[in-house]
Amino acid sequence: MNNYEQKKMTTRALKILAGDHFFRELFISSKIFQDFLRPAANRYIVGENHFELFEKLKKLECIGYNTGIEFAGEEASSISEINTVVNEYINLIDNIEEGAYIKPQLGFDLSNLGSGISKELAILNCEKICEKAIKKDISIIISMERSKWTDIILDIFFILRKKFSNLGITLQAQLNRTSDDLADVIKTGCKIRLVKGVYDESENISLPRGEILDKRYLTLLRNIADNNNIFSYATQDPKLVEMIREEGIHKKGEHEMLHGVKPELIKSSRELLTIKPRISCVYGYNWYLHFMHRLAEHPENIYQAFIDIHLNNKNSELYNHQY
Ligand SMILES: Cc1cc2nc3c(=O)[nH]c(=O)nc-3n(C[C@H](O)[C@H](O)[C@H](O)COP(=O)(O)OP(=O)(O)OC[C@H]3O[C@@H](n4cnc5c(N)ncnc54)[C@H](O)[C@@H]3O)c2cc1C
């Protein structure tokens, strides 16, 4: 087995582990398990409460970044979990300074707002958040989830976009359907965040990582930029970022990355002095899935995780200097 195949298998195994119910339950119920992983997760999770979150946002904004916020957690299945998420976002918006010069962008998964229970519930909850946010001129970006949810996520987006000019959507280049979806999304004039896609999808509906996917990503991005939509290229891939820069697309849209992943790459985007890049900051106590996905998308991060655990890093402040 060559290196590429080994990496692919490790990524696959980590994604299965990330989705495994036993470990997700164990994480929620065991403080020992949480404490063990926390020093490694602190690289990616900016804090577990609003105080830690806003401290971090301020620091990043001061050195020249736009910011994004996402409350950690995915695929909430009970009404009480869903209500917790909705209330969290409502409180978050309340806590964002009214007259702040830089406003963070909020992002979330619709499955956390109830799309797994019913479309109507997710619409109602998303509407509550958008209404509150638009009054403070805060933009919202909906994440894209597993392909079984794509239709419902787009349906909800199209319905709500008619009412909310602050609403944008994420699209996944890996899905074969995305170029068709993009044509409809572009017409709404919304902000589009283009990602490769984090979920393990079957070959008949998606492309695996590789040159063909990178080419498709660039074609989609060119299309978005040519249509004058506001957009972000949310990728942590230095080669792809290089290609985007070579074509000059970076002068039209923002580079967006997750906190803790390759800080030197987003720093290089900031130093180009074109469009201010955005660091998406995940916070909250339910960070197991977010953390596992970061390991899965780049299995070499496991070594770093062990080092972080060994050094027992206490919080994400340690990484400020890298930005
Ligand atoms: C802001 C943001 C929002 C996102 N929202 C969504 C979403 O809504 N739905 C969704 O499906 N996915 C989302 N993703 C994840 C995305 O789809 C990819 O899985 C993720 O960005 C990794 O793909 P890539 O383009 O960065 O490069 P890949 O092709 O995965 O990797 C190429 C190279 O990039 C570098 N790299 C990538 N990830 C890492 C890492 N974690 N650590 C170190 N190096 C790394 C490595 O050098 C790697 O060899 C989001 C990503 C970002 C940055």
pLDDT at 1 over 70: no
What total of structural domains would you count in the chain? 1
Q: Quick check: CB of 128 below 6 Å from ligand 1?
A: no
Q: Which domain holds residue 272?
A: 49-91+102-311
> 236 C-alpha vs ligand 1 centroid, how far in Å?
5
User: Does residue 234 lie in a domain region?
Assistant: yes
Q: Name the residue of 195, 200, 205, 302 to mutate for ligand 1: max ligand atoms within 8 A of Cβ.
A: 195
User: Does residue 251 lie in a domain region?
Assistant: yes
For 88-133, what is each residue's pLDDT tens digit? Answer: 999 999 999 877 778 999 999 999 999 999 999 999 999 999 999 9
For 14-63, what is each residue's pLDDT tens digit? Answer: 888 888 888 888 898 999 999 999 999 999 999 999 999 999 999 999 99
User: Does residue 82 lie in a domain region?
Assistant: yes
Terminal-to-terminal C-alpha distance of the chain: 37
User: Does residue 8 lie in a domain region?
Assistant: no
User: Does residue 14 lie in a domain region?
Assistant: no
What percentage of the chain reaches a pLDDT higher than 70? 98
User: Does residue 171 lie in a domain region?
Assistant: yes
User: Does residue 227 lie in a domain region?
Assistant: yes
CA distance 196 to 198: 7
Q: Quick check: CB of 209 below 6 Å from ligand 1?
A: yes
pLDDT at 83 over 60: yes
User: Does residue 254 lie in a domain region?
Assistant: yes
CA distance 300 to 108: 27
pLDDT for 246? 96
pLDDT for 74? 67
Using CA positions, which residue lies closest to atom 46 of ligand 1? 237
Q: Is 53 exposed, middle or buried (0-12, 13-18, 19+ CB in 10 A)?
A: buried
Indicate which CATH number applies to the domain containing 179.
Answer: 3.20.20.220
Among candidates 178, 181, 245, which has minimal Cα distance to 213? Answer: 178
pTM for the model stands at: 0.94
